[in-house]
Amino acid sequence: MTHQIPPLSADDLSVRAADWHGFSRVMGDKGGCGGCWCMLWRLSKKDMDAGMGEPNRQSMKAVFDRGDAPGLVAWHGNEAIGWIQVDRRDAFARLGASRVLRPVDDAPVFSVACFLVDRRYRRRGVSLALLREACRYAAGRGAAILEGYPIDTRKTGYPGVYAWTGFLGAFREAGFEEVARRSPTRPIMRKRLTPSAE
C-alpha cells in the first residue's frame, strides 16, 4: 500500500541550516545517489568515482566539521525530507572545469550545486522552498549573487533523482534569470541578492 502524503503548505515545512544529523537522514543508507554524499561538484571525476561510499561520506563530514553549514535541510515535522547544497562557487572545483557550467564572469558568486528530495515528497514544492531559503542563507553569508544550473527539459516525467541540480521552473519561480546557456538543456541562472552578512 502506497503511503499517501497530503500536499505541503508553508506551515507543514521548515527549512534550516543543515547539521550532519539532518543531512545524513536525507542522504539515507545509500549516501544520496549511489554513495555520492553530495561531493560531485567538490571533487574531480576521478576522485569522486574513487570515493563513492564511505570516502565521500568522510569528505563531506569534513566540510561540515569546518563550521559553516554547506547547505539547508527541509523538515516535515521531525522527518528530514530534502537537501540543497549552497556554498561559494569556488568550493566546487568541478564547476570551474566544466565546459558547459564554467564561470560566466569574474563576479564572486555563491552556487546552488545539488538538490535531493525524498521521493515521497517530490512535486510538492519542497525544491522551491529550499531554493527560496537558499537565497536568504547565501545573502546572510555575504553573497550578492546566487547562481544555479538547473535542467531544462521538455520530457514529462523526467526522473527527479537525475535532476540533482534542480529544474528550471523552480528557479524561475524563485526569481532567478538566465544569464548564459552553453547547452540546450543546461542554463546558468542567477539571482541578485542584498548581502546581509552577520
Pairing between β-strand 177-181 and β-strand 145-148 as defined by DSSP bridges: unpaired
Strand partners, 177: 190
Which distant-in-sequence residues (6+ apart) come within 8 Å of 76 by Cβ? Answer: 8, 12, 13, 121
pTM here?
A: 0.90
Q: Is the pLDDT assigned to residue 123 strictly greater than 90?
A: no
- For 169-188, what is each residue's pLDDT tens digit? 999 999 999 999 999 999 99
In a domain, 3, yes or no: no
Tally of domains in the chain: 1
- CATH number of the domain residue 76 falls in: 3.40.630.30
In a domain, 5, yes or no: no
Strands lying side by side in the sheet with 187-192: 13-17, 71-76, 79-88, 110-117, 145-148, 187-192, 177-181
- For 127-154, what is each residue's pLDDT tens digit? 999 999 999 999 999 999 999 999 998 7
Which distant-in-sequence residues (6+ apart) come within 8 Å of 48 by Cβ? Answer: 36, 39, 40, 56, 94
In a domain, 7, yes or no: no
Range of the domain at 177: 13-192
In a domain, 85, yes or no: yes
